[in-house]
Amino acid sequence: MAKVKAKAADAPSTSKELKDTLWKAADKLRGSMDASQYRDVVLGLVFLKYVSDAFDERREELAAELASEPDDFISETLEEQDEYTGSGVFWVPRECRWEYLAKHAKGIPASASNDAQSIGNLIDEAMRGLMDANESLRGVLPTMYGRENVDQRRLGELLDLFNSARFAGGGASKARDLLGEVYEYFLDKFAKAEGKRGGEFYTPQSIVRTLVEVLEPHSGRVYDPCCGSGGMFVQAEKFLERHHEDPTNIAVYGQEFNERTWRMAKMNLAIHGIDTAGLGTVWQDTFARDIHPDIKADYVLANPPFNIKDWVRREDDPRWRYGVPPARNANYAWMQHILSKLAPQGEAGVVMANGTMTSNTGGEGGIRQAMVEADVVSCILALPSQLFRGTQIPACVWFFAKDKSAGKGGKTDRSGQVLFIDARELGHMIDRVERTFSDGEGGDIDRIANTFRAWRGRESAVDEYRDVPGFCKSATLDEIKAAGFALTPGRYVGAAEGEVDGEPIEEKVARLTKELTGALDKSVRLDSVVREQLGRLV
């Protein structure tokens, strides 16, 4: 089988160099396209490269398996679609393969029998061919490469760069792993470039990693009702990879309302080798039409859009077990929907606006009280500012558990308790507008996750749980009731040990009151003196 040889002489040698080089090259395509269209063009091309790499890898495996067979039999078998789809690989027709497109990166000139075709037209035909040949890709892939506002010369150059780049050594599997990294890198870059709109499809990896490390989804059903580009699922699969466990231990189920974002999620999951069937066959509004009505999830990971004012609401919806959410804010609707999806021992991590911890508007205080009294809230995590580049709204994470007794969730019975973690002082700035959590052993994510694991008494915990002033506190439901069911962690964890000066709080208040009263008395005396002196001048 003829192949286009990689021109690796000038190719980037490291993952970072490769991603930076591809981003700079792709950025040349921006032209007159709007941000979302430009995003679709580039991410679609990354996906096309992945599909071809996976197809070529399976083709080489087949050829090796059939090496002793007659040439005619080998050639015929290599073109049998079932040999690929049966191994979880997309079928790629001849003129959809990267090899064919790379060969014609400058387009096909006109001839006596054919009209001229630009590289964009060829890519559009390849996308349509892939969708026709693979049921799960129907309506997913972008087809705008041949449009007038796409620079065909630069598109061809980008194709050449993808073709010649040295993605990795060690075979096509390694190459696909790096392509997955490139896709995630591009998602991050697009989210930053699009600002607030970018947050609609992308949650910063440090936040997603925190949710995954706290919940530890080793097996079962993982659900996200507003899955964006699928980052929660990708990080769940990577969690299994880090623990050398079978990625098929989890099954993913998601829903997404935005058409373009849903397509990105489908491509993202496919690139990472995750079954895309759980995202459904079309985009849908979770509140208007739940496409997974019977799913009971072992884990829910979600970052719903904050403070939605216009959402589909029915007061008789059975999901509102703890109270009907207000018509002008969907925050408590999301949380109750997620609770309705949990299996008897299921757990969830949900990113929310800080206001949810204290708000009493529209009956939200009553809903919060009902959830606490039902003992389904396991942990509240206060996040630092600036973790989200596109919004300045302060955020927190609610962790839920249907069963906090000793068992699947951990060896320690935490019934009637809620863990509060104040992580507002954690993280570091990566530039002047964005903060992130440090990763790895002893990092911010590790500290948060190990605090929760120790609290639940999990085997993965590195030590025993203890309250740490200024950082974490295990509070009883009675303590929460005494605080009016406000769930702000700072209210419970108190001041850090280094901030305590040893003076009893009653004595400190009395002293400061006395000092303030003295200062006010002195001010009154000085005011009288000033008025007296001014009177003498008249």
Handedness of CA 50, 53, 57, 59 (dihedral sign): positive
Task: For residues 127 and 267, give the distance between their C-alpha atoms in angstroms, rounded to a whole number.
Answer: 12
* Token pair recorded at residue 90: 């997309």
In a domain, 487, yes or no: yes
In a domain, 410, yes or no: yes
Do 425 and 471 belong to one domain?
A: yes
Do 321 and 470 belong to one domain?
A: yes
- Length reported for the chain: 538
The domain of 515 spans 505-532
3-class secondary-structure state, position 187: helix
In a domain, 193, yes or no: no
Local structure of residue 402 (DSSP, 8 states): S
Q: Cβ(157)–Cβ(142) under 8 Å? A: no
Task: For residues 333 and 324, give the distance between their C-alpha atoms in angstroms, rounded to a whole number.
Answer: 8
Do 349 and 288 belong to one domain?
A: yes
Mean pLDDT of 507-532: 74
Q: CA triplet 329, 334, 337: central angle to 5 degrees?
A: 135
User: What DSSP string describes 250-293?
Assistant: EEEEE--S-HHHHHHHHHHHHHTT---GGG-SS---TTT--S-T
Burial 314-340 (b: 16+ CB within 10 A, else e): eeebebbebbbbbeebbbbbbbbbbbe
Nearest to 22 by CA among 40, 46, 53: 46
Nearest to 323 by CA among 379, 396, 373: 373
Nearest to 158 by CA among 123, 187, 185, 126: 123
pTM greater than the 0.75 cutoff: yes
- Maximum mean pLDDT: which of 316-320, 386-390, 492-496: 316-320
Q: Cβ(160)–Cβ(4) under 8 Å? A: no
At residue 408, the pLDDT reads 77
Task: For residues 410 and 456, give the distance between their C-alpha atoms in angstroms, rounded to a whole number.
Answer: 5
* Neighbour count for residue 119 (Cβ, 10 Å): 25
CATH number at residue 110: 1.20.1260.30
At residue 3, the pLDDT reads 41
In a domain, 139, yes or no: yes
Task: For residues 1 and 257, give the distance between their C-alpha atoms in angstroms, rounded to a whole number.
Answer: 43
At residue 161, the pLDDT reads 83
Region at 204 (left for phi over 0; alpha for psi -120 to 50; beta for the rest): beta
In a domain, 53, yes or no: yes
Local structure of residue 207 (DSSP, 8 states): H
Task: For residues 300 and 342, give the distance between their C-alpha atoms in angstroms, rounded to a whole number.
Answer: 7
Do 158 and 223 belong to one domain?
A: no
Range from 245-254, 264-273, 420-429, 472-481 carrying the lowest mean pLDDT: 264-273
Q: CA distances (Å), 6 to each of 161, 288, 424, 462, 504, in order?
A: 10, 49, 48, 47, 72
Q: What percent of the chain has pLDDT over 90?
A: 60
Handedness of CA 375, 287, 273, 232 (dihedral sign): negative
Task: Tell me the pLDDT of the chain averaged across its residues.
Answer: 87
Do 311 and 380 belong to one domain?
A: yes
* Token pair recorded at residue 503: 């003076």
pLDDT band at 537 (very low <50, low <70, confident <90, very high): low
3-class secondary-structure state, position 460: coil
Tell me: the pLDDT tens digits for 378-435? 999 999 998 887 667 789 999 999 999 998 788 999 999 999 999 999 999 988 888 9
At residue 198, the pLDDT reads 52
- Nearby residues of 329 by Cβ (< 8 Å), 6 or more positions away: 307, 308, 309, 361, 362, 364
Q: Residue 1: pLDDT above 60?
A: no
In a domain, 195, yes or no: no
Local structure of residue 11 (DSSP, 8 states): S
Q: Residue 530: pLDDT above 80?
A: no
Do 291 and 161 belong to one domain?
A: no
Do 511 and 483 belong to one domain?
A: no
- Nearby residues of 469 by Cβ (< 8 Å), 6 or more positions away: 493, 494, 495, 496, 497, 500
Domain boundary among 126, 156, 188: 188
Q: Cβ(325)–Cβ(278) under 8 Å? A: no
Nearest to 126 by CA among 92, 149, 78: 92
Do 155 and 247 belong to one domain?
A: no
Range from 47-51, 352-356, 521-525 carrying the lowest mean pLDDT: 521-525
In a domain, 151, yes or no: yes
Rg of the chain on CA atoms, in Å: 29
Q: Residue 223: pLDDT above 80?
A: yes
Q: Cβ(378)–Cβ(401) under 8 Å? A: yes
Domain boundary among 155, 188, 221: 188
Do 265 and 293 belong to one domain?
A: yes
Do 228 and 264 belong to one domain?
A: yes
Q: Where are the alpha helices (DSSP H) in 66-204?
A: 71-77, 82-85, 98-103, 119-133, 152-164, 172-194
Q: How many domains does the chain have?
A: 3
Task: For residues 374 and 359, give the distance between their C-alpha atoms in angstroms, rounded to a whole number.
Answer: 19
pLDDT band at 4 (very low <50, low <70, confident <90, very high): very low
Q: What are phi and psi of 278, to 5 degrees?
A: -70, -5
Do 174 and 258 belong to one domain?
A: no
At residue 110, the pLDDT reads 79
- Nearby residues of 185 by Cβ (< 8 Å), 6 or more positions away: 19, 23
Q: Cβ(27)–Cβ(19) under 8 Å? A: no
Q: Cβ(213)–Cβ(446) under 8 Å? A: yes
Mean pLDDT of 269-273: 87
In a domain, 297, yes or no: yes
pLDDT band at 189 (very low <50, low <70, confident <90, very high): confident
Bridge-partner residues for 101, per DSSP?
Answer: none
Region at 209 (left for phi over 0; alpha for psi -120 to 50; beta for the rest): alpha
At residue 195, the pLDDT reads 61
| Helix H or strand E encompassing 435 | strand 435-436
Domain boundary among 188, 215, 248: 188
Q: Cβ(260)–Cβ(36) under 8 Å? A: yes
At residue 10, the pLDDT reads 47
Handedness of CA 98, 100, 101, 106 (dihedral sign): positive
* Token pair recorded at residue 95: 């003129």
Range from 98-112, 385-399, 521-535 carrying the lowest mean pLDDT: 521-535
CATH number at residue 449: 3.40.50.150
Do 163 and 221 belong to one domain?
A: no
pLDDT band at 2 (very low <50, low <70, confident <90, very high): very low
Q: CA distances (Å), 293 to each of 301, 333, 528, in order?
A: 17, 16, 75
